């Protein structure tokens, strides 16, 4: 593994700093040769860290051996993928606030697929949702599309399961050693064996609430478009749709009855300009790709 990747792994495990601070370090010092040399004062002045955060960072940068971490991850078939690696998702490179490092487990070649569509929706889908999702995803998979989702309960899990016979990628809001939710442990194992699971968080990172909306920018950012199957007006799925729009991606939505709460968000998206989807071909035609 190249020295810069090892340094990024180290920074990814250090407390006291976040993604934006790491990008500042990269801009100042592209090879990260100075990360062990920054003094307490420099960390505070250059990166505007508080004294407490700077001390945490200094403590961890001396205590953590990234080579040991990488060896441990290799034993578990977890691969760190830095932003300059050939496997790093092409479209994700154009996203604001992109991850400087992601971890992958499974078939890494899926990251190089060009026909990627994210599928998201409520954790509490209606009885129709399974049939709708199947009617959309199965032909897309048969025509070479890779389905990206977040492995959550509800629509996400449906999407992954329906795509197991084709190609699918799960983006976690936790580390790869702590997959969530627990009910999807079997699905997680299937994805790791035959598909792909990725995360920007250290493999030991717990599934904390704030990580899930943050990871949604990856789900939308690495794909050509986002399909929302069912969603209430205030939901994580709409956060993903909003991020897709900000990233210049297409947004698709399945219409539903105005009497159903799980259709209120998708109907509102259509009202605001999202593409109304009646079948899978609507998506392909909008994205102007050969079936």
Calpha distance 180→55 (Å, rounded): 31
What residues does 275 pair with on adjacent strands? 252
DSSP 222: T
Residue 288 in this model has a pLDDT that exceeds 90: no
Mean pLDDT of 120-145: 93
- Residue 181: asked if its preceding bond is cis (omega within 30°), the reply is yes
Please give the share of the chain, as a percent, with pLDDT higher than 70: 99
Mean pLDDT of 81-107: 96
Q: What angle do CA 218, 225, 119 make, to 5 degrees?
A: 70
Return the domain boundaries, the chain: 3-75, 104-287
Residue 290 in this model has a pLDDT that exceeds 50: no
- The pLDDT of residue 265 is 92
CATH architecture of 104-287: 3-Layer(aba) Sandwich (3.40)
Mean pLDDT of 87-98: 94
Residue 227 in this model has a pLDDT that exceeds 50: yes
Residue 196 in this model has a pLDDT that exceeds 90: yes
What is the number of other CB atoms lying within 10 angstroms of the CB of residue 103?
A: 24
- The pLDDT of residue 291 is 39
pLDDT tens string 15-41: 999 999 999 999 999 999 999 999 999
């Amino acid at each position: 593994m190249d020295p810069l990747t090892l340094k990024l792994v180290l920074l990814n495990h250090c407390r006291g700093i976040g993604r934006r601070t790491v990008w500042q370090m990269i801009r100042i010092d592209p090879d990260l040769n100075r990360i062990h040399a920054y003094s307490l004062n420099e960390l505070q002045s250059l990166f505007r860290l508080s004294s407490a955060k700077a001390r945490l960072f200094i403590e961890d940068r001396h205590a953590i051996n990234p080579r040991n971490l990488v060896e441990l991850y290799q034993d578990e078939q977890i691969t760190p993928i830095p932003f300059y690696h050939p496997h790093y998702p092409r479209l994700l490179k154009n996203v604001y606030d992109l991850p400087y490092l992601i971890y992958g487990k499974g078939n890494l070649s899926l990251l190089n697929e060009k026909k990627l569509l994210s599928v998201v929706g409520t954790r509490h889908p209606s009885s129709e949702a399974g049939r709708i999702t199947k009617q959309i995803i199965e032909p897309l998979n048969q025509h070479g599309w890779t389905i990206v989702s977040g492995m959550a309960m509800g629509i996400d899990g449906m999407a992954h399961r329906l795509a197991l016979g084709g190609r699918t990628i799960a983006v976690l809001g936790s580390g790869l050693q702590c997959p969530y939710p627990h009910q999807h442990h079997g699905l997680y194992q299937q994805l790791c064996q035959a598909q792909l699971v990725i995360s920007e968080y250290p493999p030991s990172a717990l599934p904390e609430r704030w990580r899930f909306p943050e990871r949604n920018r990856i789900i939308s950012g690495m794909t050509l478009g986002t399909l929302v199957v069912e969603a209430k007006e205030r939901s994580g799925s709409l956060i993903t749709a909003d991020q897709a729009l900000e990233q210049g991606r297409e947004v698709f939505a399945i219409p539903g009855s105005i009497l159903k709460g799980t259709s209120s968000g998708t109907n509102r998206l259509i009202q605001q300009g999202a593409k109304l989807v009646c079948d899978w071909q609507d998506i392909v035609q909008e994205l102007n790709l050969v079936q």
